[in-house]
C-alpha cells in the first residue's frame, strides 16, 4: 500500500512540476521578484519604526502563527475509483494514509519554519527575543502542526463517530491556546503543550483505528476539493485541462458581435470573434495580461521604461493568440466550407488588429495617467501603433502561412 | 453526371487504403456506399469532400475538380459527418448563420428554410442553446439542418441512421427524397441495409479498398445469383468470399 502511495505521489509530483514550470515562467518570476522586493522593503521599514514593547505585538504574532498553522492540508491523493477498488483493502489503507501524512508533513512543516523565520526579526524587535525562545517557538509550532495533521488523519476514520476530530473550532482553538501560552508565558510551555496534545491524539488514534471504517466519500470529496483548489491556482497562470473547456455565453457582448455583418467574407470573423470571447482560454489570457500590464505600468515612471513595457505586453499577448488560428482545424467544416483559406487568414488578422488595438489603447491610457507628460505619452502611442500594425498585419500572416506549409 | 470518381488511389498516408476506385453519382440519384468497417467508406468520403488528396485519379463534380477551383467545388457539397461536430462556442442560431455566410446564401430565404427544418426536427425552441446542452441525436439533427439549409448539388451523408429516433429517420428520408426530386445527388454510407435497400437507387459495395460490385439491386442480384434476394444477403456473401 505504501507502494501505491509512492506511485501516485510520483505521478502527482510530475504533474505539479509540469504546472510549476508553466507558472514560474521568466516573466512571472520577474514580476514576483518585484513584488517580493517591495514587500521586503515595506517590512523592514515597518520594523525600523517600532521601538519595542508594543502591547499589540504578541497579538499580531498569535494571529499570524495561528493562521499559518492551518496551512498545509492532508494530501491523501485518494481517487474516486478507490472506494470501489480499494474497499476490500480497507485495513491495508492504514499504511497508505500514514504515508500520505508523512508526505503532507514536508510542505506543511516547511511552511511553518519559513513563517517563524520571517517572523523572527519582528519578535526580536518587539519582544526582545533571542535565538533560543525563537527556536523553542519553532519546535512548538512544528509539534502543533504535527498534532493538527494527525487529527486530519484520524478524521479519515469514523473514530469519533459522526463528529470529526478535525473540525475548525477544535483546530483553531488548540492552535490559539498553545501559541498564546508560548507568546505570553514562555515558549517552553507551548512546546510541552503541543507535544502533549500530539501524543494524546496519537495514542487515542492508535487504540481506535483498527475497529473503524474509512470515510471514503468524505475523504474523496476533501481530496477533490484540495486538487480543485490547486488547479484553480494554476489556472490563473496557465490553462489547466481539468478546468478548461468552459464556455460562457457573455450575452453582454452580443451588441459588439452584431457589428459584424453576416456576409460571406466575414464568415470566419463571425466564428473567430465569438469563439475567442466565449471560450475562457484565450479571452482569459488577454484579460489577465492586459490587467497585469496596466497595474505594472501604473507604478512605472520614466521616459523609456513605460514604452518598452507596453510594447512587451502587446507582443506577449499577440504572440500567444497565434495558436487560436488553428483552434477549429479539428472541425471538419473548417475545411468543407466553401470559404477560401486566404479569407480565413484575413479574418484572423482583422481580429488580431482589433484585440491588440484595444489592449494598446488601455495600456496607453495608464501610461498617460501615470506619467502625465507629453513625451512618454506620444512615444508610447507611436511605438504601440507601429507594433500593432507590424504584429497583426505583417508578422501574423507570414508566420501562419509558414506554419500551414509545414503542416501540409 | 454529378459526381465522378475515377481510378482513385488514396489514403491517409503513403500506404493507399483505396485501390483504384471508380464510381459515379448521377443527378437526382441516391447512391449507397456499403462496406464493412475499414473497407474504405470514410476514406472515400474524405477524398470526395476534399479533406484528402488522391495519390492518383480524379474526382470531378459537375465538371470541376478541387484543384481547378476549390471554392466552386466546395460550394456544391453539403456534408453530414458520422459523428456530429459543432463549434462549442456557437449557439444553434449562430451555427445556422455561419452556414449561411459560408455558403453565401440569401439570409431571408435561408431562414425560411431553416425554420421549416427546425420545426420538423423539433429544434425550433432551442435556437439559443450551446452544443454542450444537446444530446447526440440532437447534434446529429443540427448537422442535418445545417446541410439541408444549403442548395448543394451533392449531399454526402455518412451513416445517418444510427442515433436518430425513428421519427427523425423518417423525416430525413423525406428530405432526401425531396432534394432528389429537385435534382440533387446524394452519396450515403450506411450499415442499415434494409433501409438502404428500400431507398437507394444504386449501390457501391466496397471491400478492402476496392469496388467489389456496383449497380441497382436487380443488377447486383443478377451478378451474384447464388447470394440471395436481399441486399443483406448479397452483402454477407460478399464478405464471406474473403473469409474462406
Average pLDDT of the residues of chain A: 87
**Chain B contact present for A249, CB below 8 A:** yes
| C-beta of residue A276 within 8 angstroms of C-beta of residue A324 | yes
Would A240 be classed as within a structural domain?
no
Determine whether the interchain pair B130/A249 forms a contact, defined as Cβ–Cβ distance below 8 Å. Answer: yes
Longest dimension (CA), chain B: 58
Q: Are residues A9 and A65 in the same domain?
A: yes
Instruction: Indicate the angle between helix axes B166-181 and B107-120, nearest 10 degrees.
Output: 140
| C-beta of residue B237 within 8 angstroms of C-beta of residue B223 | no
Q: Are residues A275 and A318 in the same domain?
A: yes
A128-172 residue pLDDT tens: 888 889 999 999 999 999 999 999 888 888 766 666 777 888 899
User: Mean pLDDT across the stretch B91-110?
Assistant: 94
- Nearest by CB to residue A333, choosing from B85, B101, B132, is B85
Architecture per CATH, domain B3-76+152-243, reads as 3-Layer(aba) Sandwich (3.40)
Of A236-240, A392-396, B41-45, the poorest mean pLDDT is in A236-240
- Which of B102, B109, B133, B142 would you mutate first to test chain A, the one with the most A CBs within 10 A? B102
Q: Are residues A196 and A130 in the same domain?
A: yes
Determine whether the interchain pair B101/A267 forms a contact, defined as Cβ–Cβ distance below 8 Å. Answer: yes
**pLDDT of amino acid A402:** 86
Would A241 be classed as within a structural domain?
no
CA distance A346 to A338: 15
- Picking from A181, A209, A235, the residue at the C-terminal end of a domain is A235
**Exposed / middle / buried, residue B129 (Cβ in 10 Å: 0-12, 13-18, 19+):** middle
Of A156-165, A171-180, A319-328, the poorest mean pLDDT is in A156-165
| C-beta of residue A364 within 8 angstroms of C-beta of residue A310 | yes
Would A302 be classed as within a structural domain?
yes
- Residue A41: pLDDT band (50, 70, 90) is confident
Q: How many structural domains is chain A composed of?
A: 2
Find the DSSP H helices in A24-92: 26-49, 57-70, 82-85
Write out the three cell numbers for A270.
463571425
Is pLDDT of A243 > 70? no
* Domain spans in chain B, listed from the N-terminal domain onward: 3-76+152-243, 84-148
- Which of B62, B98, B143 would you mutate first to test chain A, the one with the most A CBs within 10 A? B98
- Contact residues on chain B for A267, CB-CB shorter than 8 A: 98, 101-102
- Residue B187: pLDDT band (50, 70, 90) is very high
- Contact residues on chain B for A253, CB-CB shorter than 8 A: none
Residue B237's CB is within 10 A of a number of other CB atoms, namely 13
**pLDDT of amino acid B242:** 56
Is pLDDT of A230 > 90? no
**Chain A residue with Cα closest to B82:** A332
Residue B67's CB is within 10 A of a number of other CB atoms, namely 11
Residue-number span of the structural domain to which A358 is assigned: 251-407
Is pLDDT of A282 > 90? no
**Chain B contact present for A342, CB below 8 A:** no
Determine whether the interchain pair A332/B81 forms a contact, defined as Cβ–Cβ distance below 8 Å. Answer: yes
Determine whether the interchain pair A338/B102 forms a contact, defined as Cβ–Cβ distance below 8 Å. Answer: yes
A202-214 residue pLDDT tens: 998 888 888 888 8
Q: Are residues A39 and A138 in the same domain?
A: yes
Q: Measure A241 CA to nearest chain B CA, in Å.
A: 16
- Picking from A235, A268, A298, the residue at the C-terminal end of a domain is A235
User: Mean pLDDT across the stretch A212-228?
Assistant: 86
User: Mean pLDDT across the stretch A38-49?
Assistant: 85
Task: Give the strand order in the sheet containing B77-80.
Answer: B77-80, B154-158, B185-189, B30-34, B202-207, B210-215
List residues of chain B with CB under 8 Å from any CB of chain A. Answer: 49-51, 70-75, 77, 79, 81, 85-90, 94, 97-98, 100-104, 107, 130, 132
Would A245 be classed as within a structural domain?
no
- Nearest by CB to residue A267, choosing from B79, B98, B132, is B98
**pLDDT of amino acid B177:** 95
- Residue A215: pLDDT band (50, 70, 90) is confident
| C-beta of residue A390 within 8 angstroms of C-beta of residue A349 | no
- Which of A333, A339, A343 would you mutate first to test chain B, the one with the most B CBs within 10 A? A333
**Chain B contact present for A287, CB below 8 A:** no
Q: Are residues A306 and A396 in the same domain?
A: yes
Q: Are residues A32 and A99 in the same domain?
A: yes
**Chain B contact present for A251, CB below 8 A:** no
In this prediction, what percent of chain B has a pLDDT beyond 90?
Answer: 72
Is pLDDT of B10 > 70? yes
**Chain B residue with Cα closest to A258:** B94
Determine whether the interchain pair A337/B74 forms a contact, defined as Cβ–Cβ distance below 8 Å. Answer: yes
- Nearest by CB to residue A278, choosing from B77, B89, B104, is B89
By three-state DSSP, how is residue B34 classified? strand
Is pLDDT of A60 > 70? yes
Q: Which residue has the cell 453530414?
A: B80
- Which of A270, A275, A336 would you mutate first to test chain B, the one with the most B CBs within 10 A? A336
Would A242 be classed as within a structural domain?
no
Q: Are residues A270 and A185 in the same domain?
A: no
- Contact residues on chain A for B75, CB-CB shorter than 8 A: 338
Quickly list DSSP for B183-241.
T-EEEEE-S-HHHHHHH-SEEEEEETTEEEEEE-HHHHHHHSTTT-SSHHHHHHHHHHH
Is pLDDT of A286 > 60? yes
A357-369 residue pLDDT tens: 999 999 999 999 9
**pLDDT of amino acid A206:** 87
**Chain A residue with Cα closest to B131:** A247
CA distance B147 to B124: 16
User: Mean pLDDT across the stretch B27-47?
Assistant: 92
**pLDDT of amino acid A162:** 63
**Chain B contact present for A407, CB below 8 A:** no
Q: Are residues A125 and A7 in the same domain?
A: yes
- Nearest by CB to residue A267, choosing from B72, B74, B102, is B102
**pLDDT of amino acid A245:** 55
Higher pLDDT, B240 or A200: A200
Determine whether the interchain pair B94/A270 forms a contact, defined as Cβ–Cβ distance below 8 Å. Answer: yes
Q: Are residues A331 and A386 in the same domain?
A: yes
Determine whether the interchain pair A264/B85 forms a contact, defined as Cβ–Cβ distance below 8 Å. Answer: no
CA distance B182 to B161: 23
Q: Are residues A273 and A221 in the same domain?
A: no
**Chain B contact present for A278, CB below 8 A:** yes
What ipTM was predicted for this assembly? Answer: 0.90
- Residue A68: pLDDT band (50, 70, 90) is very high
B138-173 residue pLDDT tens: 999 999 999 999 999 999 999 999 889 999 999 999
Average pLDDT of the residues of chain B: 91
Amino acid at each position: 500500500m505504501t507502494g501505491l502511495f509512492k506511485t501516485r505521489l510520483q505521478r502527482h509530483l510530475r504533474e505539479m512540476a509540469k504546472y510549476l514550470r508553466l507558472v514560474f515562467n521568466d516573466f512571472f518570476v520577474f514580476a514576483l521578484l518585484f513584488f517580493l522586493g517591495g514587500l521586503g522593503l515595506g517590512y523592514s521599514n515597518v520594523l525600523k519604526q517600532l521601538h519595542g514593547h508594543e502591547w499589540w505585538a504578541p497579538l499580531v504574532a498569535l494571529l499570524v502563527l495561528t493562521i499559518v498553522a492551518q496551512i498545509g492540508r492532508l494530501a491523501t491523493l485518494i481517487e474516486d475509483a478507490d472506494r470501489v477498488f480499494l474497499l476490500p483493502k480497507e485495513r491495508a489503507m492504514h499504511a497508505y494514509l500514514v504515508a500520505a501524512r508523512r508526505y503532507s508533513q514536508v510542505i506543511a512543516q516547511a511552511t511553518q519554519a519559513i513563517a517563524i523565520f520571517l517572523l523572527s526579526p519582528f519578535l526580536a524587535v518587539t519582544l526582545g527575543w533571542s535565538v533560543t525562545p525563537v527556536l523553542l517557538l519553532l519546535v512548538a509550532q512544528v509539534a502543533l502542526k504535527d498534532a493538527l495533521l494527525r487529527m486530519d488523519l484520524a478524521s479519515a476514520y469514523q473514530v469519533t463517530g459522526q463528529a470529526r476530530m478535525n473540525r475548525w473550532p477544535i483546530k483553531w482553538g488548540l492552535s490559539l491556546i498553545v501559541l498564546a501560552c508560548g507568546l505570553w508565558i514562555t515558549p517552553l510551555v507551548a512546546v510541552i503543550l503541543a507535544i502533549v496534545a500530539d501524543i494524546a491524539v496519537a495514542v487515542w488514534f492508535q487504540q481506535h483505528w483498527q475497529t473503524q471504517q474509512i470515510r471514503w466519500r468524505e475523504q474523496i470529496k476533501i481530496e477533490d476539493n484540495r486538487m480543485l483548489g490547486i488547479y484553480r491556482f494554476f489556472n490563473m497562470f496557465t490553462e489547466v485541462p481539468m478546468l478548461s473547456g468552459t464556455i460562457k455565453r457573455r450575452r453582454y457582448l452580443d451588441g459588439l458581435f452584431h457589428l459584424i455583418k453576416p456576409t460571406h467574407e466575414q464568415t470566419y470573423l463571425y466564428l473567430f470573434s465569438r469563439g475567442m470571447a466565449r471560450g475562457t482560454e484565450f479571452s482569459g489570457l488577454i484579460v489577465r495580461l492586459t490587467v497585469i500590464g496596466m497595474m505594472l505600468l501604473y507604478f512605472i515612471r520614466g521616459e523609456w521604461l513605460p514604452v518598452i513595457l507596453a510594447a512587451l505586453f502587446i507582443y506577449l499577448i499577440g504572440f500567444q493568440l497565434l495558436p487560436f488560428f488553428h483552434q477549429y482545424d479539428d472541425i471538419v467544416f473548417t475545411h468543407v466550407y466553401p470559404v477560401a483559406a486566404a479569407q480565413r487568414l484575413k479574418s484572423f488578422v482583422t481580429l488580431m488588429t482589433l484585440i491588440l488595438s484595444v489592449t494598446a489603447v488601455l495600456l496607453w491610457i495608464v501610461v498617460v495617467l501615470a506619467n502625465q507628460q507629453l513625451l512618454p505619452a506620444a512615444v508610447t502611442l507611436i511605438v504601440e501603433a507601429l507594433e500593432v500594425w507590424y504584429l497583426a498585419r505583417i508578422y501574423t500572416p507570414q508566420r501562419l502561412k509558414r506554419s500551414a506549409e509545414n503542416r501540409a | 453526371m454529378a459526381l465522378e470518381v475515377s481510378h482513385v488511389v488514396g489514403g491517409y498516408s503513403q500506404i493507399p487504403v483505396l485501390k483504384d476506385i471508380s464510381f459515379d453519382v448521377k443527378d437526382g440519384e441516391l447512391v449507397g456506399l456499403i462496406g464493412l468497417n475499414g473497407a474504405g467508406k470514410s476514406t472515400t468520403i474524405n477524398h470526395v469532400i476534399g479533406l484528402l488528396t488522391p495519390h492518383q485519379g480524379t474526382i470531378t463534380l459537375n465538371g470541376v475538380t478541387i484543384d481547378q477551383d476549390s471554392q466552386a467545388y466546395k460550394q456544391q457539397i453539403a456534408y453530414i459527418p458520422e459523428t456530429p461536430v459543432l463549434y462549442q462556442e456557437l449557439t444553434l442560431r449562430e451555427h445556422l448563420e455561419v452556414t449561411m455566410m459560408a455558403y453565401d446564401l440569401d439570409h431571408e430565404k435561408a431562414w425560411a428554410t431553416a425554420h421549416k427544418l427546425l420545426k420538423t426536427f423539433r429544434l425550433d425552441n432551442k435556437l439559443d442553446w450551446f452544443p454542450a446542452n444537446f444530446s447526440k441525436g440532437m447534434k446529429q439533427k443540427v448537422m442535418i439542418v445545417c446541410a439541408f439549409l444549403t442548395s448543394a448539388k451533392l449531399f454526402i451523408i455518412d451513416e445517418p441512421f444510427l442515433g436518430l429516433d425513428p421519427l427523425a429517420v423518417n423525416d430525413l428520408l423525406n428530405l432526401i427524397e425531396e432534394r432528389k426530386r429537385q435534382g440533387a445527388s446524394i452519396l450515403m454510407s450506411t450499415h442499415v441495409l434494409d433501409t438502404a435497400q428500400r431507398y437507394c437507387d444504386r449501390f457501391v459495395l466496397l471491400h478492402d479498398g476496392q469496388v467489389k460490385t456496383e449497380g441497382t439491386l436487380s443488377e447486383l442480384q443478377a451478378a451474384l445469383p447464388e447470394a440471395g434476394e436481399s441486399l443483406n444477403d448479397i452483402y454477407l456473401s460478399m464478405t464471406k468470399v474473403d473469409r474462406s
